[in-house]
Structure 1
Amino acid sequence: MPSQQAQISDLPSITTYLTGHNSSGKAIVEANRPANWTVYDNKEMAFNVAYTTSQFPPNLNDNTDIKTYDKVLSSGKLGLVNPNGTVCRTVDFAPGFECMMHRTQSLDYGIVIQGDIELVLDSGERQKMGPGDIAVQRATMHSWKNPSTDKWARMTFVLQDCEMLLVGGEVMKEDHGRGTEGLPMSGNDA
């Protein structure tokens, strides 16, 4: 079962800044929220959900999107993907750690922020990525490995729901793999 706790890596802390407007229409920072980490796989991987939307396009009027985000997050039912929406998540990977082989039914942008990462595909293909590199993950079965023996690595992901993917007549369903017990299924592949 995952647990909420303080950051486990030695990487810089994260704060999410939510902008909005004051009564005269000028841009302001409405809120700043420190990271809230969920730890998995014997403290070798941690998630921080910076933001999520639940419809496309999002409704920003009267802070509807912020209220919905707070409700989704507090429900404890957010999977890797938010059906009909997006999820912006930062993931820290311990030295030498390779996360579970998994698939989401989503189109994801995975950006390496710090350290090196290997994208590992179920075909056996591996792609080394460094800071600033971006993987466009298109509902494939994959994992991420931190090849360093002594340094944490960090990626930020933006996941967006997608149409059901069929390959050879087979639905490519969500599959969390090992180590994510307690993480709800997204429910967008039915």
Structure 2
Amino acid sequence: MKTIPRRIVTGIRNGKSIIEKDAIISNVSEHFPGLIISDIWSTDSMPVKLEEEKIIENIAFPHTPKNGSYFRYVQIPPDKDLGIIAEQGQSHPLMHQTDTLDYIVILSGEIYLIVDEDQTLLQAGDIVVQRGTNHAWSNRSDAPCIQLAILLDASK
């Protein structure tokens, strides 16, 4: 699996569908060693304006635009490669809460989804519907986990 994905964007010219862009993602960052984030697309309205391209600043914990969405590809390295040691009974050091509805698909590898009162092992093909809860990702394996995430603006 590629660390940085290729993005193909379609469009319409003269009433016909076309491939408007075809390139490796350039909006990529490595906020922690081995944690590769490729931001693919975002929107800032609903309904979406199809003719508009919008990519927002690539940060570890993004701020999804009001009434918008955020699409990202993430490679999460093993915890040991990040120097993360989660002690029994203590909160994971990367625990955070979002204010979005997130659709997350595990593309390869495995990772634990940790929430305040529980955790579960996710493997390739598993899908998470993350509803604005406190959570962390813990990769206890020896290989990176690749996930695809779509974050939608939400209200409580």
> Which TM-score band applies after superposition, normalised by the shorter structure?
0.7 to 0.9
Q: How do 1:93-108 residues align onto structure 2 when only pairs under 5 Å count?
A: 93-96=76-79, 100-108=94-102
Contact 1:81 1:104 in 2 (8 A): no
Greater strand share, structure number: 2
Aligned partner of residue 19 in structure 1, secondary structure: strand
Give the alignment partner of residue 160 of structure 1, picking from 142, 152, 155.
152
Partner-residue secondary structure (3-state), 1:16: strand
Alignment partner for residue 116 of structure 1, among 105, 110, 115? Answer: 110
Deviations 1:85-110 (A, max 9, x none): 00001111112356711111010001
CA distance in structure 1 between the aligned counterparts of 2:139 and 2:67, rounded to whole angstroms? 31
Return the TM-score normalized by structure 2: 0.82
Moved over 6 A (4+): none
Give the equivalent residue in structure 1 for 2:38. Answer: 48
Count matched residues: 142
For the residues of structure 1 that align with 2:6 and 2:120, how far apart are their CA atoms?
30
User: Could you state the TM-score of these two structures normalised by the residue count of structure 1?
Assistant: 0.68
Rounded to whole Å, the distance in 2 between the matches of 1:144 and 1:73 is 22
- Once the two structures are superposed, the pairs formed by residues 5-84 of structure 1 within 5 Å of their partners are 11-12=1-2, 13-23=4-14, 25-35=15-25, 36-41=27-32, 43-60=33-50, 63=51, 65-66=52-53, 69-70=54-55, 72-73=56-57, 79-84=62-67
Query: 1:132 maps to which residue?
Result: 125
The residue type equivalent to 1:131 in the other structure is A
Report the AA paired with residue 110 of structure 1. I
Q: Is the partner of 2:97 in helix, strand or coil?
A: coil
Aligned partners of 1:55 and 1:85 also within 8 Å:
yes
Partner deviation per Cα, 1:4-41 (whole Å, 9 max, x = no partner): xxxxxxx4141111101121x22111012312321112
Higher helix residue share: 1
> Counterpart of 1:105 in structure 2: which amino acid?
D
State the 1:73 CA deviation: 4.3
In structure 2, the gaps of 5 or more residues are: 85-92
Q: Over aligned residue pairs, what C-alpha RMSD do you find? A: 2.1
| Structure 1: segments with no counterpart, 5+ residues | 1-10, 166-190
